[in-house]
């Protein structure tokens, strides 16, 4: 029973691991014993330093989804059995004025890159007969509409759908595919909202837990989903939102 949550001997790749939720997930997976490849469009040296300081191992990898197919060759022969698709962007504008450029930029990173990174990972695991876990970062906006974020909302609904179809197709191959749907978490992504007193208060009033989430709140959930404790969990989109959706 004691190693139910251990990730010792596993190798993980986390996208967008230089900051925020991705950084917390990388540190959490390494804390359970995984070697973590911290991928980012810029160096993840800070994250690797945090991992090493905690007694773990990791490395930094440049992976920029300016090309949504960037991860195509990344998994070959690497023995990676945990993939966390965390990289994501948000562009805010009223739907009536939303530009094609913003739409394409958000969709490319949040949806297209996520799917094709899953595909590259799954293809490699199937080629070597391995098993593994995919954890996609969805959002409250996988369930709700939000405001002024039409591409983000559409992309996060897609993340939930991609998670479910891949869970169906790959369960028999021993690959679990789940998503975490964070509520409002204090990171760069939500800085504009926290700096707007009206939006900040309106959001806080709707969170039963009475506080914004921390990136660490998501890190532990990802470690659980990657572990043996979750080996029969697949196709789930797990809310980590302080009770927002329950209200
Ligand atoms: P964040 O601090 O802005 O992190 C986003 C990460 O994605 C950063 O590492 C960023 O790199 C990376 N990224 C963006 N574009 C990229 C690209 N083209 N190629 C590679 N990496 C790229 O915000 P966060 O809140 O931690 O977001 C992490 C995930 O959680 C996202 O998928 C987001 O949608 C999701 N989420 C967040 C919240 C929340 O309340 N914060 C709620 C629900 C879901 P740079 O640092 O270089 O930009």
Spatial contact of 68 and 118, defined as CB atoms under 8 Å apart: no
Yes or no: say if 155 and 137 are a contact pair by the CB < 8 Å rule: no
Q: In the chain, pLDDT over 90 holds for what percent of residues?
A: 98
The pLDDT of residue 155 is 98
- Counting atoms of ligand 1 from 1, which one is nearest the CA of 70? 19
Q: Please, where are the H alpha helices in 20-113?
A: 20-31, 45-53, 100-107
**What CA dihedral angle connects 217, 125, 62 and 88, to 10 degrees?**
-40
What are the residues facing 181 on neighbouring strands?
239
Q: Which residue has the tokens 């070697």?
A: 35
Our answer on whether the CB atom of 80 is closer than 6 Å to any ligand 1 atom is no
Is the shortest distance between the CB of 23 and ligand 1 below 6 Å? no
- The pTM (predicted TM-score) of the whole model is 0.98
Q: 21: Cβ below 6 Å to ligand 1?
A: yes
CA dist., res. 184 & res. 243, Å (int): 11
Q: What is the 8-class DSSP label of residue 112?
A: I
Pocket test for ligand 1, best of 71, 87, 137 (most atoms within 8 A of CB): 87
The Cα–Cα gap between 106 and 44 comes to 22
pLDDT tens for 27-60 read: 999 999 999 999 999 999 999 999 999 999 999 9
Domains of the chain: 11-189+216-239 (3.40.50.720)
| Contact (CB, 8 A) for 26 and 14 | yes
Q: How far apart are CA 196 and CA 22, in angstroms?
A: 24
How do residues 135-169 score in pLDDT, each as one tens digit? 999 999 999 999 999 999 999 999 999 999 999 99
Please state, in angstroms and rounded to a whole number, the distance separating the CA atoms of residues 103 and 80.
32
Closest CA to 17 of 28, 6, 25: 25
């Amino acid at each position: 029973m004691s190693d139910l949550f251990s990730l010792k001997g596993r190798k993980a790749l986390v996208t967008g691991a230089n900051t925020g939720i991705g950084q917390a997930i990388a540190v959490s997976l390494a804390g359970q014993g995984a070697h973590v490849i911290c991928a980012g469009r810029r160096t993840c040296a800070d994250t690797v330093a945090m991992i090493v300081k905690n007694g773990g191992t990791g490395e930094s990898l440049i992976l920029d989804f300016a090309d949504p197919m960037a991860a195509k060759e990344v998994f070959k022969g690497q023995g990676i059995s945990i993939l966390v698709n965390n990289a994501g962007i948000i562009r805010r504008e009223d739907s009536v004025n939303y530009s094609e450029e913003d739409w394409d930029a958000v969709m490319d990173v949040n949806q297209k890159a996520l799917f094709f990174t899953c595909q590259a990972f799954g293809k490699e695991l199937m080629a070597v007969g391995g098993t593994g876990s995919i954890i996609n970062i969805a959002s409250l906006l996988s369930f709700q509409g939000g405001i002024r974020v039409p591409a983000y909302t559409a992309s996060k609904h897609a993340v939930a759908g991609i998670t479910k179809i891949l869970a169906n197709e790959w369960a028999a191959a021993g690959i679990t595919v789940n998503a975490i749907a964070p509520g409002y978490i204090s990171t760069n992504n939500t800085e504009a909202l926290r700096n707007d007193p009206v939006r900040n208060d309106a959001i806080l009033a709707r969170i039963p837990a009475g506080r914004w989430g921390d990136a660490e709140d998501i890190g532990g959930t990802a470690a659980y989903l990657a572990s043996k404790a979750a080996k029969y969990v697949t196709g789930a989109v797990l809310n980590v939102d302080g009770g927002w959706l329950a209200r």
